[in-house]
Chains A and B, each alone.
Chain A
Amino acid sequence: MSPDGTLPDWTEGGEGLAFARCRSCGDIQYFRRPFCPACGSEDLGVEAASGRGTVHAVTVVARAPSPDLQAHAPYGLALVDAREGFRFMAHCPPEGIAIGDPVRTTFRAFGTGLVPFVTPENHP
């Protein structure tokens, strides 16, 4: 499912959050390129993230960017600091979530694909 055919990744329709770690300098990237932006090495290892992290920022989209997505509004959007050391954008509940909350990740259908959906760890 991932570009190297081993790990599921939501950007390709799979239920997973993948990232890459540079085997040369250790730099971690979420926005994937075929090289390390820190040192230029092309020796990257793709890993599956746990989906656990902490909310860094959060908003609620009341006005969606297109009429087809407006049916989903309001929807929460968060920037989440993953335990593995990268930041990712995810959907979240529009209420009951705040900066600093520990979260876990599932995936839900949105638009034409799957997107990460984070909920507070203490929610059932």
Chain B
Amino acid sequence: MTVHALAGVAGLNALFLSSGAALLWAVRGFRDWVDVARLAGLAYIAGVIATGALWTLLLIAGVPFSLFLVLAVPVALTLGFVAIGRRSGRSLPTGGRLATGAPLIVTAVGIAVTGLLLEGLFRISRLSGLQWWDAWAFWIPKAKAIYYFGNLDEEFFTTLPGASYPPLVPVLDAAAFHVMGSPDVVTLHVQYWLFGVGFVWALAGLLAERVPGWILWPFVLLVLVAPRIGRRFHITEADLFLDFLFVLAAVLVVVWLLDRKRWRLVVATLLLCGMVLTKREGMLLAALLVAAALVASAREWRSTWPPLGIVAVATALVAAPWRIWYVVHGVAGEGPSDGGLDPTANAERLWPSMRLAFDVLLSSNYWSVLVPVTLGALLLAGLTRAWVLTSFFGTLVLLVTLGGGWITWAIPELPITQELGGNPIVRYMGSVALLCAAASALLLGAAWSSVTPRAKDDA
């Protein structure tokens, strides 16, 4: 780990932040500097995805991946979004007032404790070795191939394990290698830690709009201390990165169902596009998220289903180029070999597969108390008639869990086990567990606002 490598990573992430902040300013605008600070995490993640998705699509189209491209794309995006914002009449943020009294102190304590935990996680990230099988077997080799060859080397990419996995994460890794000056796989863990910091900041910033601090921060901390979440922030694989995008997209979509602010759907669409370029499970999770939104907004389908349809079409269009690339290059598809839709096939595996998914969902060894707390929060929010939130999160948790069962059921080669090397179910179910943290905060926030007149006025 050299100063050069760390400085390169810092510079690249500053570019991610600038492109994402410009994007948010163009589609939403900022009230004041407090607003900017609150949404800086979301801006960073949006910048990572906008930049990374464009790099990925250019790479698939055959544009050589070079240091010039690494720097030019985020700079061009920043300038482009600033130009759009100016044409839309956006004004620059000015001033800003913090909350006062107890809420301010609660927020300060939450930020301090969260920050300390993240600093502790940085100590793991700064000198971590490449010890996880998927990371050294194909994620990092793919990144090194992009770094060295500047393209999707056909022979290499079609023969590695996980050949059909989309290349967004290796592209982000390769970009980091370019700014570090070498394929420094130790310093790369700092990049993943920064993704984790961005996610935590984005989640807290989004939830803070609707959830009081005393409800919000315990869930942020729970994310960091849950055994299979916070302690894996530095791991150079795509699982947690995909979960970050899924959870932020879910929060943006469900809050859009409540307030219909269009910028939320624009940013959610970007994150969904990131999901389908990250892992093959991203397609499934994106589809289930849209399905849950359709269910939760069924009573107002005339106004909600058309925009959600546009979101689905845009996501599918972004997913298509990579699927075309691997089909053209003879790589086997992403789904089960027989399509996975015949209910009579592998019937004896159906119940054990579903049971496996629910066992993993309810395991406190993986997710601490996140899932039981969410079940309680769903009940409370249901009792206080927060129907949209309850139906959205209830449907989504159920669908994603059933999706996990479906993966095991429909791919007979997968043993019915929680063993990490045999079945991806534990990795996959991390998406539900992380979703539960956001869901619990929003559900409890809604329940609280319904029983406290002052909170109701604020909501």
**Genuine A/B complex:** no
